[in-house]
């Protein structure tokens, strides 16, 4: 159990982000790019998605 609770929290956060990406109204290419980013860089990808993800764009408009 190398990562323990922290690893479990990252996994839960990434699953949440991927679900939100799938259910967003973004284009298919944008969804694919966001999902790849979250999967390749789990912690940084999740943080960037929180700041600039599909929902973040609608807040600024």
pLDDT tens figures, 10-38 = 999 999 999 999 988 888 998 999 999 99
pLDDT of residue 24: 87
pLDDT tens figures, 47-56 = 998 898 766 4
pLDDT of residue 3: 73
Predicted model pTM: 0.79
CA 8 to chain centroid, in Å, comes to 15
The angle that helices 28-40 and 42-52 make with each other, rounded to 10 degrees, is 140
């Amino acid at each position: 159990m190398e990562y323990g609770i922290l690893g479990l929290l990252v996994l839960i956060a990434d699953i949440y982000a991927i679900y939100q990406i799938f259910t967003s109204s973004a284009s298919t290419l944008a969804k694919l790019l966001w999902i790849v980013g979250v999967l390749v860089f789990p912690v940084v990808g999740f943080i960037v998605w929180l700041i600039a993800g599909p929902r973040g764009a609608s807040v600024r408009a």
